[in-house]
Structure 1
């Protein structure tokens, strides 16, 4: 009697070399985002006196990339659902290379704001493109970890920017030009690694291109794979207004709001770390960069831990407990700005570590909670929502530090993280172990 061998389908596939490579190169967008948003804070140390920047232009330069992210995510998420993931997966990085190099030759604050906006536009486009592509190829057992890697890449980019900025600051008064242009180097590496990536078979199947979809899944998962493994259901037209339907609207609000309340204080801290750490009297001259780099390591450690915790601990408890500790840490920083340096450092370290899991869930939740026909659109919309808050927070932070002081600024950040906690307690679902179809069918008030 011949023994029947069960071959795993798409959702239960092992972690193949193709999937590992895809996880690495889709992480490029978040890596560049972290690098670009962090390196500008260091460049501003030289740019402020050279361009004679006041609070308005400093805030505009800090917020410009975030505004670009808002527009890029909202527009190109929908375009990606209409036209596919593959083409834009490479083109957006070419834009980052060009605009990064052009930053080296700016002579006015307005020129820099414009180029920072264009860079943000390209990074914002990459978020829905790359994350949808990764989610649609990922088996359910590894999806949380693979999507969590995107958040780790953001902080890895920030750490890389900290190291690059510290080294480049030693090169002289024009170091800011090399800092701003340096983002072109990782972008160039990523473009070469992304070349040849196939189109998402889920997107192809959702558009009725079943022959092409079958060819891709056999190429990626093996000759035994079939279209039934995708479990995509009937062909469905991409309609942006579907996000306004009650069930999807609540999901959009949930992800958009918790993401906003997480990144608004976080991005502001990243962009203006020199001013914030100086307000806490941590370091002098360029010494603050060392403390900043150590705090970045806590951010990175938290996201790396989330790769394991999202499956072990579950999505809902992980995000609730993380926001709880973030709120507590920010509250301590707000009520004790004159505390000893070790306590201030511990407050930042706790906040940084527990920012990791929500950062991973920024990518996991929107890609799991929406169907293929509107997945990239949803990611783009929630990215845009979060960047509205982040841009406002980043623009307002210099004014807040100058007029309200460090204590009140930190307490306002505490309020934002607490509101994120409230949103998660009310709406955060558990999607661990579900297929994409099962997760996207969840109704948030019926958990």
Structure 2
């Protein structure tokens, strides 16, 4: 009679080792490139305006195109991740956005660049749901949120790099170098992932046909555990703890049992928080300079916004692992006055930079925590799809935020009033997060 190994119990009972650290490093680098690629086009913008002789407003659709592509890519590659594996979906995502970003160097008009950025966005959208799923499925429960947040910090770090490339390389090689860097590196990391990235052991354990791969992976993860060749690996598919083989993903899985309330509330919190984040990220420099802040201070303030978000995510790690959604609910309510008062910090450069650091700590740190919870709340059988739909639907907020900001600017609304209005979706998000905390119950 073959031995039975419960994969969930084995992973939850392990200590973090080199296997986990290597996985974290691989996915951190992937997230770094993902964050770089999203932001790089913004630094190419001023050079395109000058070289193509187009008005700055014409580049708005270029900036939005990748966000719309990310929305679709999150859904598509989330499905691929649950059907064909997280590793396959991640590699396919890296290859697709790498190739299309390289093609962006050949663009000669705004419509061409819009199309290329949209298609690249589809590939970019596949990275985060599968990286979160893979990280969650190899992390012991007591460290799961910490590992996801550390992995996601690669995204915020990568978002700070296009400015460096713009200063050091663009004057010599032109705006195209931003896309050469953003395209070649994902293709290189894709090759490394083919050779080194493990597939999710929990995903492999769902299907008897993948047992040989699952056993080989389990032996790498836990070399001290003797796993016979005929071992039977089981994992929990749902809240009832049943086991079995992989089923084709059905959309209604995201609304079965307790997920009937969890899923729409999670979507709402993502959309509202991303709406505020992208509003701040898109319009703060313009608003600040109109209020008298120097361009250098505005750029530095936005960098501190990213730094604050990274540190906010780090600060939340252990609290989320220990208490789930409770610290996120508390931080959401703290965001209300922080965002609402941010517009009044332009009285001095010091207040402005410090204010954006605090706003980033709360808003972007909160998003890191929500990312971790998305990977925890869904079972293995639909985790990549669950995370992908949360990010996909959340991107609606990411698109609406900058558009709403542009409309308010067109109405000549002051910076102070705009940030006070931005506190409204934060307030709604806080209520949704509180309801999600009450609904989610025991963390998966």
TM bucket normalised to smaller: 0.7 to 0.9
Partner of 1:333: 342
Contact preservation (8 Å) 2:306, 2:364: no
Separation (CA, whole Å) in 2 of partners of 1:193 and 1:360: 26
Partner of 1:43: 44
Identify unmatched segments of 5+ residues in structure 1: 1-7, 441-447
Matches within 5 A, 1:1-16: 9-16=10-17
Partner of 2:182: 183
In the alignment, structure 1 residue 72 sits paired with structure 2 residue 73 = yes
Partner of 1:290: 300
Identify unmatched segments of 5+ residues in structure 2: 1-8
Task: After TM superposition, give the deviation of residue 417 of structure 1 in Å.
Answer: 1.5
Task: After TM superposition, give the deviation of residue 342 of structure 1 in Å.
Answer: 2.8
Task: After TM superposition, give the deviation of residue 73 of structure 1 in Å.
Answer: 0.7
Partner of 1:4: none
Judged with a 3 Å threshold, the aligned counterparts in structure 2 of structure 1 residues 47 and 309 are, in CA distance, closer, same or farther, namely: farther
Matches within 5 A, 1:259-278: 259-278=270-289
Partner of 1:384: 392
Partner of 1:19: 20
Which fold has the larger relative contact order, with Cα–Cα distance below 8 Å and residues 6 or more apart in sequence? 1
Partner of 2:360: 352
Contact preservation (8 Å) 2:235, 2:243: no
User: Which of residues 417, 433, 444 is equivalent to 1:408?
Assistant: 417
Q: TM-score with structure 2 length normalisation?
A: 0.86
In the alignment, structure 1 residue 364 sits paired with structure 2 residue 372 = yes
Separation (CA, whole Å) in 2 of partners of 1:295 and 1:306: 17
User: Which of residues 316, 327, 330 is equivalent to 1:306?
Assistant: 316
Separation (CA, whole Å) in 1 of partners of 2:361 and 2:286: 21
Separation (CA, whole Å) in 2 of partners of 1:166 and 1:416: 35
Separation (CA, whole Å) in 1 of partners of 2:356 and 2:151: 22
Matches within 5 A, 1:17-416: 17-54=18-55, 57-168=58-169, 171=171, 175-196=174-195, 197-209=197-209, 210-222=211-223, 223-224=225-226, 230-232=235-237, 233-235=242-244, 236-237=246-247, 238-245=249-256, 247-284=258-295, 286=296, 288-311=298-321, 314-334=323-343, 336=344, 339-405=347-413, 406-416=415-425
For 1:10, what is the secondary structure of its paired residue? Answer: helix
202-211 or 100-109, larger mean C-alpha shift = 202-211
Judged with a 3 Å threshold, the aligned counterparts in structure 2 of structure 1 residues 168 and 288 are, in CA distance, closer, same or farther, namely: farther
Separation (CA, whole Å) in 2 of partners of 1:52 and 1:265: 32
Separation (CA, whole Å) in 2 of partners of 1:164 and 1:267: 22
Separation (CA, whole Å) in 2 of partners of 1:62 and 1:121: 14
Separation (CA, whole Å) in 2 of partners of 1:273 and 1:40: 17
Contact preservation (8 Å) 1:29, 1:127: no
For 1:15, what is the secondary structure of its paired residue? Answer: coil
For 1:293, what is the secondary structure of its paired residue? Answer: helix
Partner of 1:422: 431
For 2:15, what is the secondary structure of its paired residue? Answer: coil
Judged with a 3 Å threshold, the aligned counterparts in structure 2 of structure 1 residues 166 and 321 are, in CA distance, closer, same or farther, namely: farther
Separation (CA, whole Å) in 2 of partners of 1:338 and 1:357: 23
405-414 or 77-86, larger mean C-alpha shift = 405-414
Judged with a 3 Å threshold, the aligned counterparts in structure 2 of structure 1 residues 245 and 142 are, in CA distance, closer, same or farther, namely: closer
Separation (CA, whole Å) in 2 of partners of 1:380 and 1:188: 22
Task: After TM superposition, give the deviation of residue 141 of structure 1 in Å.
Answer: 2.4
Task: After TM superposition, give the deviation of residue 186 of structure 1 in Å.
Answer: 3.8
Provide the aligned length of Structure 1 versus Structure 2: 423
Separation (CA, whole Å) in 1 of partners of 2:168 and 2:23: 31
Judged with a 3 Å threshold, the aligned counterparts in structure 2 of structure 1 residues 311 and 81 are, in CA distance, closer, same or farther, namely: closer
Contact preservation (8 Å) 1:73, 1:384: yes
Separation (CA, whole Å) in 2 of partners of 1:176 and 1:274: 21
List per-residue Cα deviations over 1:188-209 (Å, max 9, x = no partner): 4532432232322211222333
For 1:348, what is the secondary structure of its paired residue? Answer: helix
